[in-house]
């Protein structure tokens, strides 16, 4: 139910040409000059469509269908990609939005052509796979706190420790002094906080808890250490579970006094309020394409591209930023599927990047896009590279 609702809403959002990148919202009107300047880039008109050219030669003899599964974080833009790719190249890509944990399981088992995850596979997960798996970044997005509090609009301010205390069950009322101190001009009601979280193995959860682990000592201690406070599956101290970003946004939409975490497009699709989050530089940042992109500034990528993008150092970076990885077996053995896979990924990393901004995802920057293309070029058919 939630999946159908969110997909329809995202289509409507796209058709209307709406964007998250307006002027920085401030529900209390109390921005400092520095904070206002840090958020102004959300109001600037930039080159959201990078116009990347398709540099990998299209391969003949590719299959007419592909299958993928995993991340719900990427589903709104994946829906646009699969539709546009069917029109441009005549290939049907069937994608199951089942969560990053499910995507890792299905690619590991070889039941899909590609998996998708918002967090890199762990070493032990890779070791259990049937061969080397490539991590290919596809797009950038923001995981945001979204809430349903009577009379409170978009723009409520949070920092990492306060969010950590809420999700650890240590802050239980919207009128808590910590929330009032961050939002002195907001009339916060004296009502209970209902926490909404993922019930399935989730890359969105991994991005969210990666940030909480970096910024909230209370969250880490409550969960029993950093080895337990970060990951796709968490032993939640409190809250209501929802399956997928669709499920969590649905819970928040239907529950007065609730707070959850979802990819930005889901909050926008259901007209849910969402918060500004304090970044490493001390600025409260509105999530939008520009501030998501800033989250990658200053990042050094390892050769396999498995890394964290949370808590970026740029003063304009939204601090809970993540990338979606396509998970692909490097060594392919079926010619038609391998060629179709290379063609789809090379299209997604070029023409497809122009689609990202239409549903409030950020296209990959040129450096990361080139690194991702380099990963596609590592795909082989019976030991011979396919891309040229």
Whether 160 and 217 have beta carbons less than 8 Å apart is answered as no
Residue range 138-152: average pLDDT? 97
Angle at 253 between CA 198 and CA 236, to 5 degrees: 25
Sketch out the chain's domains with CATH numbers.
Answer: 22-46+142-294 (3.40.190.10), 65-141+322-385 (3.40.190.10)
**pLDDT of res. 85:** 98
**pLDDT of res. 298:** 84
pLDDT at 98 over 60: yes
List Cα–Cα distances, 66 to 181, 238, 290, 343, 345, in angstroms.
51, 39, 32, 11, 11
Give the single-character DSSP code of 319. S
Q: What are phi and psi of 52, to 5 degrees?
A: -65, 140
Partners of 93 in beta bridges: 66
Angle at 359 between CA 324 and CA 76, to 5 degrees: 55
Integer Cα distance of 164 and 131 in angstroms: 37
Residue range 296-320: average pLDDT? 94
Residue range 308-316: average pLDDT? 95
**pLDDT of res. 146:** 98
Beta pairing class for 276-278 and 284-285: antiparallel
Q: Among positive and negative, which fits the CA dihedral 107, 113, 116, 119?
A: positive
Whether 289 and 362 have beta carbons less than 8 Å apart is answered as yes
The model's confidence at residue 15, banded by pLDDT at 50, 70 and 90, is very low
**pLDDT of res. 40:** 53
CB atoms closer than 10 angstroms to residue 306: 15
> 13-17, 98-102, 134-138: lowest mean pLDDT where?
13-17
DSSP track, 62-124: --SEEEEEE-STTHHHHHHHHHHHHHHH--EEEEEE--HHHHHHHHHHT-SSEEEESSPPPHH
Whether 89 and 343 have beta carbons less than 8 Å apart is answered as yes
Tell me the CA end-to-end span of the chain in Å, nearest whole number.
Answer: 43
Stretch (H or E) spanning 379: none
């Amino acid at each position: 139910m939630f999946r159908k609702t969110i997909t329809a809403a995202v289509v409507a959002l796209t058709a209307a040409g709406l964007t998250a990148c307006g002027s920085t919202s401030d529900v209390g009107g109390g921005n400092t000059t520095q904070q206002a300047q840090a958020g102004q880039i959300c109001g600037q008109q930039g080159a959201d469509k990078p116009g990347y050219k398709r540099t990998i030669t299209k391969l003949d003899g590719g299959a007419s269908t592909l299958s993928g599964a995993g991340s719900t974080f990427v589903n709104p833009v994946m829906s646009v990609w699969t539709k546009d790719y069917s029109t441009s190249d005549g290939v049907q890509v069937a994608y199951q939005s089942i969560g990053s944990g499910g995507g890792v399981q299905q690619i590991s088992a070889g039941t899909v052509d590609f998996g998708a995850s918002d967090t890199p596979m762990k070493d032990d997960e890779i070791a259990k796979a049937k061969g080397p798996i490539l991590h290919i970044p596809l797009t950038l997005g923001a995981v945001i706190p979204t809430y349903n509090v009577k009379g409170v609009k978009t723009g409520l301010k949070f920092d990492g420790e306060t969010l950590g205390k809420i999700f650890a069950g240590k802050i239980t009322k919207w009128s808590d002094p910590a929330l009032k101190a961050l939002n002195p001009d907001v009339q916060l009601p004296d009502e209970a906080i209902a926490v909404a979280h993922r019930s399935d193995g989730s890359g969105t959860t991994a991005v969210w808890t990666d940030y909480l682990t970096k910024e909230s000592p209370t969250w880490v201690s409550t969960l029993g250490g950093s080895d337990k406070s970060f990951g796709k599956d968490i032993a939640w101290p409190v809250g209501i579970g929802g399956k997928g970003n669709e499920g969590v946004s649905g819970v928040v939409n239907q529950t007065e006094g609730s707070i959850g975490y979802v990819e930005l497009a889901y909050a926008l699709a259901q007209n849910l309020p969402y918060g500004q989050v304090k970044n490493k530089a001390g600025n409260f940042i509105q999530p939008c394409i520009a501030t998501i992109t800033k989250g990658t500034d200053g990042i050094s990528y390892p050769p396999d591209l498995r890394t964290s993008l949370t808590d970026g150092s740029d003063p304009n970076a939204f601090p809970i930023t993540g990338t979606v990885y396509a998970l692909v077996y490097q060594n392919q053995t079926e010619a038609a599927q391998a060629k179709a896979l290379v063609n789809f990924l090379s299209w997604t990393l070029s023409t497809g990047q122009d689609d990202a901004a239409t549903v409030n995802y950020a296209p990959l920057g040129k450096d990361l896009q080139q690194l991702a293309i380099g990963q596609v070029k590592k795909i082989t058919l019976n030991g011979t590279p396919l891309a040229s």
